[in-house]
């Protein structure tokens, strides 16, 4: 196993989540927003964020995949579990772990927009702008990271390392 190296320690993650929660509360308190957590990588982030937001809201889950077993996106996004409830008139906040090429979020926001929510916002814990292939508007951004393969804090490599409390990175052949 490759030893992951710490990129963002848990204290900094905590501060970032609290800041994002304040921004969301400022904009959406009193609207009973629907937070949509993108499985599986955003689960730990979502669990911390909803408790930091600490106001009435609902939580739902959506499962997409664009990665096989490697560290490069396949570019093809598949919906594995969609949203069954109506979004009409709802204020929706999508919780995403990492925006990388932007292809996943681009596909996802278009899918959710067709469901006619009153508002649709994107909250991303991490952004890798150097890898962007399509433009993405991030309403609530945690931290910008370099072009490294990230693991930990819910984010995996081949289903490993989700349990790490810090945000870490691993090297692979194509990644320096
Ligand atoms: P995109 O479609 O923007 O290229 O990729 C978005 C998805 O790819 C993210 O939701 C995340 O699941 C995955 N991803 C992007 N960068 C990384 C990374 O550095 N590590 C891991 N484990 N997943 C990543």
CA angle 31, 118, 92 (to 5 degrees): 65
Specify the ligand 1 atom closest to the Cα of 148: 19
Specify the ligand 1 atom closest to the Cα of 41: 12
| Nearest Cα residue to atom 22 of ligand 1 | 156
Work out the percent of the chain whose per-residue pLDDT is above 90. 82
Specify the pTM. 0.92
Give the span between the Cα atoms of 28 and 23, in whole angstroms. Answer: 9
- Residue 82, pLDDT score: 77
Backbone angles phi, psi at 96, to 5 degrees: -120, 140
Of 48, 97, 100, 127, the active-site residue reads 100
Give tens-digit pLDDT for 132-163: 999 999 999 999 999 999 999 999 999 999 99
Whether the predicted pLDDT of 176 surpasses 70:
no
Q: Which residues of 112-144 are buried (b: 16+ CB within 10 A; e: fewer)?
A: beeeebeebbbbbbbbbeeeeeeebebbbbbbe
Please tell me if the CB atom of residue 103 comes closer than 6 angstroms to any atom of ligand 1: yes
SS3 content of the chain, % helix, strand, coil (to 5): 25, 35, 40
Q: Cα 86 from chain centroid?
A: 22
Å from CA of 100 to ligand 1 middle = 6
Whether the predicted pLDDT of 173 surpasses 90:
no
Please tell me if the CB atom of residue 73 comes closer than 6 angstroms to any atom of ligand 1: yes
CATH number of the domain bearing residue 49: 3.40.50.2020
Backbone angles phi, psi at 42, to 5 degrees: -95, 5
For the chain, what is the domain count? 1
Whether the predicted pLDDT of 94 surpasses 70:
yes
Which domain covers residue 145, as residue numbers?
A: 5-68+75-175
Please tell me if the CB atom of residue 127 comes closer than 6 angstroms to any atom of ligand 1: no
- Residue 80 contacts residue 65 (beta carbons within 8 Å): yes
Has 147 been annotated as catalytic?
no
Give tens-digit pLDDT for 46-66: 999 999 999 999 999 999 876
């Amino acid at each position: 196993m490759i030893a992951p190296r710490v990129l963002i320690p848990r204290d900094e993650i905590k501060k970032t989540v609290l800041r994002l929660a304040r921004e969301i509360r400022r904009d959406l308190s009193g609207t009973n927003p629907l937070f949509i957590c993108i499985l599986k990588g955003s689960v730990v982030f979502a669990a911390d964020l909803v408790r930091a937001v600490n106001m009435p809201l609902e939580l739902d889950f959506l499962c997409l995949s664009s990665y096989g077993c490697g560290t490069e996106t396949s570019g093809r996004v598949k919906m594995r579990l969609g949203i069954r409830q109506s979004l009409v008139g709802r204020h929706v906040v999508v919780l995403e772990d990492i925006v990388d090429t932007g292809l996943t979020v681009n596909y996802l926001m278009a899918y959710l927009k067709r469901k006619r929510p009153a508002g649709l916002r994107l909250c991303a814990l991490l952004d890798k702008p150097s890898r962007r292939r399509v433009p993405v508007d991030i309403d609530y951004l945690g931290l910008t990271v370099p072009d490294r393969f990230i693991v930990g804090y819910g984010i995996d490599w081949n289903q490993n390392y989700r349990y790490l409390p810090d945000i870490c990175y691993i090297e692979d052949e194509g990644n320096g």
